[in-house]
Amino acid sequence: MFKIIYIMWLRQLKRYMRSRSRIIGSLAQPLLFLVALGYGFGPVFQKAGEGNYINFLAPGIVGMTIIFTAVFSGIEIIWDRQFGFLKETLVAPVSRLNIMVGRTAGGATTATIQGIIVLFIAVAFGFRPTNWLLFPALFLVMFLTALLFTALGTMIASLLEDMQGFQLIMNFLVMPLFFLSGAIFPLQGLPNSVTTIARFDPLSYGVDSFRFLLTNVTHFGLAVDLIVLTAITLLFLALGSYLFSKIQI
């Protein structure tokens, strides 16, 4: 069991490391948000008495990097299905559950690596964490968040056969999840309707945990963040495993 999970995890990681254009391309949007918003809205944020906007924004940009990389890793399932690679994997005498877990863990690992890269780029642009000793805990929470959204991407990709349809659904889903997560603006003082939506947004708890571990600022509390992230991750892994097992080849 663990051997096939490791093989699928390693395969995803090697595919990621070979694609230099993918690594560079996935950094463009976070850098644009970090520079344009960080320096553009920084003076306004500071005049409002909220402090350094780069320090507030950086955890949210890390969350954005993770959700985009993790969710879009699901498109590889559609790609493999169209070119026959998925059939070769699924006909092997191994459990589809193990295949799905290995692929999901691999996608979560690549998303975590992307998040770590963006985090250190943010440090170069002026972001200052309050406690560097919390970085090991931060990386674990980043992986948990990445696992959640990789499982979500796997769920959706297991239901689709068209890459264009996947991209349309992902853009319709991912962008609202990002913008309503509190990544680019504080959740305090918002209308009740927006606050309620944010509470049902899984990324809200990921960003909030990143912000606590990096800047010691939290909206929900770290314990609540971890409980919600763990529960939703287990739910998505279960649903993703079920839908992946139903793929027709």
Q: What are phi and psi of 218, to 5 degrees?
A: -145, 150
Task: Report the alpha-carbon distance of residue 62 to residue 210 in Å, rounded.
Answer: 8
Q: What are phi and psi of 39, to 5 degrees?
A: -85, -25
Contacts of 105 (CB under 8 A, 6+ apart): 5, 8, 9, 12, 147
Average pLDDT over residues 127-134: 91
Task: Report the alpha-carbon distance of residue 158 to residue 137 in Å, rounded.
Answer: 32
Task: Report the alpha-carbon distance of residue 169 to residue 132 in Å, rounded.
Answer: 37
Q: Is 91 helix (H, G, I), strand (E, B) or coil?
A: coil
Q: Token pair 């309620």 is at which residue?
A: 196
> Please, where are the H alpha helices in the chain?
2-18, 20-40, 42-47, 53-72, 75-83, 85-90, 96-124, 135-159, 163-179, 192-199, 202-215, 222-245
pLDDT in tens, 49-108: 667 888 899 999 999 999 988 888 777 777 766 665 566 566 666 666 777 788 888 889
User: CA-based diameter of the chain, in Å?
Assistant: 62
Total Cβ atoms within 10 A of residue 130: 12
Identify the residue with better confidence: 24 or 86.
24
pLDDT in tens, 170-189: 778 888 999 999 898 888 88
Identify the residue with better confidence: 35 or 121.
121
Domain boundaries, the chain: 2-245
Taking CA 186 as the corner, what is the angle to CA 181 and CA 192, rounded to the nearest 5 degrees?
75
Q: Which two tokens stand for residue 133?
A: 């000793």
